[in-house]
Amino acid sequence: MRAYRALPLAAALGLAACPAVPPGASLFPLEAGHRWVYDVKTEREDNSVEHETRAISALGSESLEDGKAFRRRSDSGVDWWVRADETGIYRVASKSDLDAEPQPDKERRYVLKAPLAAGTSWQASTTSYLLQRRQEFPREIRHTHPVIPMSYTIEAVGEAVQTRAGRFDRCLRVKGTAVLVLFADPVSGWTQMPLTTLEWYCPGVGLVKLERQEPAKSSFITGGRLTMELITWQ
């Protein structure tokens, strides 16, 4: 889930002049040595179900051209660098296997924005992870729509979340919403297709669960639902 913030699906910290405990540091652990393993379940509108295991590791602080940042690596082949200040936690660069060097973000891409309270909102880019054309090529909509603006809001704090890694309390729930206009089929014509993300961040652990929904219900395009659930962490 590359763009789960990139998955998106999902999103360590850093720098001089930052507060001793930046907002969200407990909800997004920074120290090198942490590792999170998730079960990623994809349910498509053709009733097919796929499972894969995704591991993310915290690698510690590194130097970029504009200063230090904390690096995380996914076993899918994507690395990203994040920082924090009094405004929250934000990504500053990313790198795939196809990139020779980290690619700087043009602007801060927040993972969590201060204040960490219900009602706090921000925008960040996403893409489609599930929408696919049934016959045209390339099938994945993300290849033709790589950047989609999504609005995020902290919906709740103090929630309890049950996962296979255990029960977590005092968690923060973030909701992301976006709309992508696509040609659904000759009957429906151009249609607004919603993209919705729910993420749960818990103290001392970080992201424990993510749900992504991209329904299509079109004869030309298929969508689905994706869930990331924490299995183990350290």
**pLDDT tens track for 56-72:** 999 999 999 999 999 99
| pLDDT tens-place string over residues 109-163 | 999 999 999 999 999 999 999 999 988 888 899 999 999 999 999 999 999 999 9
Give pLDDT, residue 23. Answer: 80
pLDDT-derived band at 87 (thresholds 50, 70, 90) equals very high
Q: What is the mean pLDDT of the chain?
A: 90
Q: What pLDDT was estimated at residue 111?
A: 96
Structure tokens at 81: 């660098």
- Closest by Cα among 151, 83, 147 to 120: 151
Each residue of 16-50: b (16+ CB within 10 Å) or e? Answer: eeeeeebbbbbbbbbeeebebbbbbebebbeeeee
DSSP class of residue 141 equals: G
Q: Which residues does 137 contact at the CB level (< 8 Å), separation at least 6?
A: none
Torsion angle of the four alpha carbons 22, 26, 27, 29, in this order, in degrees rounded to the nearest 10:
90
CA-closest candidate to residue 68, choices 125, 13, 141, 130: 13
* Domain ranges (residues) in the chain: 35-233
Using CA atoms in the order 231, 198, 214, 71, what is the torsion angle rounded to 10 degrees? Answer: -60
Higher pLDDT, 177 or 2: 177
pLDDT-derived band of residue 12, with 50, 70 and 90 as boundaries?
very low
Q: Count of CB atoms within 10 A of residue 197's CB?
A: 25
The pLDDT value recorded for residue 92 is 96
